[in-house]
Structure 1
Amino acid sequence: MISSESLRSYLARLAAKQPTPGGGAAAALHAAQGAALVAMVARYTTGAKYEQHAPLVQRITADADGLIEEALHLAEADEAAFQAVIDSYKLPSGTAELKAARAAGIQSALIQAAETPARLVTLSGEIVDLATELYDVANANVISDVAAAADAARAAATTARVNIDINVVAVKDPQARARLARQTDGIEEKVVLAADALSARVRERILG
């Protein structure tokens, strides 16, 4: 499992000539790192100096910790979902019944493979929202990590979008395609714009 293996082991699997893990898992780990950076900045924004912001910072910390866990779950879910797509293409098709079952299995697997990155796009937006909330009160000594968090979430969202697209184009059910489109309608663009804006604000603050 990605959440329990070493970084070197994960990267070796990612670099290997094998279908999983792939870009979807990498996108989820971008998100996990973004959430972790938000949590780290929040934990540095504590003590007497930040006492008036304690409720906000505590909520952001708890929310960011929760998003780390969800992102790791999505990394593993993406790997499993894509493996299911691969396995569905290997199903027998020697008879009309088997061929129909194989086609149905492929379509079901493709839809599930698009569901995971769809959730990841939304999660990425939640990370950027937390980072934006934290920006105004964050410890100035780690303010650059607010931008790092936003950029990691941005990468997660744009990578997830590509993974949605590559699965959805093969989905034949128009209703399923429309539902998947609605799940992420406009969200990725908002994540990118918000992440870019926050990163720019951080740089302006650093450079004076």
Structure 2
Amino acid sequence: MRDEKISDFLTRLADRVPAPGGGAAAALHAAQAAALLGMVARYSTGDKYAEHASAIAQVIALTDELRGVALRLAEEDAAAFTAVTEAYKLPKDTDAAKTVRSATITAALVGAAKPPAEVVVVAAACVELAEKLLPIGNPNVITDVAAAAEAARAAATTARVNIEINLGGIKDEQARIELTAQAGRVDDIAVRADQVTAAVRKEINR
């Protein structure tokens, strides 16, 4: 996926195949958020921004890392969802087969919920970096901070529904608690993303 042309990925996304799907799209939203913030940070270097050089350097390093993580999660999500579809194809003609199938499906559902749960973490980090960058970044690219916040919000809200769709089949109570907690973070992420965008719009519409 890392080396695939955008047009080729979109063709696969539009095709009647199990993966990639919404989970991979969520991860790519997060990757774009991180990339946009990295771009703004790189436009915020030099003598004019010397006072914030350390903070800007940290944003650059973190967004580069987050971009890589998000791409990995896009790949992992596609693989995990494929594992779910394969698990549902297992035979159920005997009691033993049913037991194996049920356990495999449960494990696959937990696996499928983990990448979107991690996408929520990446999205939250991107919104936090957008908040940090907004007051110190280059005002000429301030709209890209809002674009990053909106991409992060889309990543989080899309990831949430991909967590929730898997929760129904997960019997492991600890896994359910952890995944539910991650999904529960999304409303706050969305509110904070809205606040970043509102601040940008206020600035550009003065």
TM range (shorter): over 0.9
> Once the 2 structures are TM-superposed, how far is the Cα of residue 92 of structure 1 from its aligned partner?
1.9
Counterpart residue number, 1:190: 188
- Tell me how large the CA RMSD over aligned residues is: 1.0
Q: Distance in 1 between matches of 2:177 and 2:30?
A: 25
Q: Distance in 1 between matches of 2:178 and 2:37?
A: 31
Counterpart residue number, 2:32: 33
> Once the 2 structures are TM-superposed, how far is the Cα of residue 52 of structure 1 from its aligned partner?
1.0
How does 1:1-208 map onto structure 2 within 5 Å? 2-182=1-181, 184=182, 186-208=184-206
Unaligned runs of 5+ in 2: none
Inter-CA distance 185–113: structure 2 relative to 1 (3 Å threshold)? closer
Residue-by-residue CA offset, 1:31-61 (whole Å, 9 max, x unaligned): 0000000000000001110011100000000
Inter-CA distance 185–156: structure 2 relative to 1 (3 Å threshold)? closer
Look up the equivalent residue of 1:206 and give its one-letter code: I
Q: Distance in 2 between matches of 1:179 and 1:55?
A: 34
Inter-CA distance 185–26: structure 2 relative to 1 (3 Å threshold)? closer
Q: Distance in 2 between matches of 1:179 and 1:69?
A: 24
> Once the 2 structures are TM-superposed, how far is the Cα of residue 176 of structure 1 from its aligned partner?
2.8
Residue-by-residue CA offset, 1:85-112 (whole Å, 9 max, x unaligned): 0000111222221110111000000011
Q: Secondary structure at the match of 1:143?
A: helix
> Once the 2 structures are TM-superposed, how far is the Cα of residue 3 of structure 1 from its aligned partner?
1.1
Unaligned runs of 5+ in 1: none
Look up the equivalent residue of 1:90 and give its one-letter code: K
Q: Secondary structure at the match of 1:172?
A: coil
Look up the equivalent residue of 1:190 and give its one-letter code: D
Residue identity over aligned pairs, in percent, reads 51
> Once the 2 structures are TM-superposed, how far is the Cα of residue 202 of structure 1 from its aligned partner?
0.4
Q: Calculate the TM-score normalised by the size of structure 2.
A: 0.97
Mapped contact 2:38–2:59 kept (Cα < 8 A): yes
Q: Distance in 2 between matches of 1:203 and 1:168?
A: 37
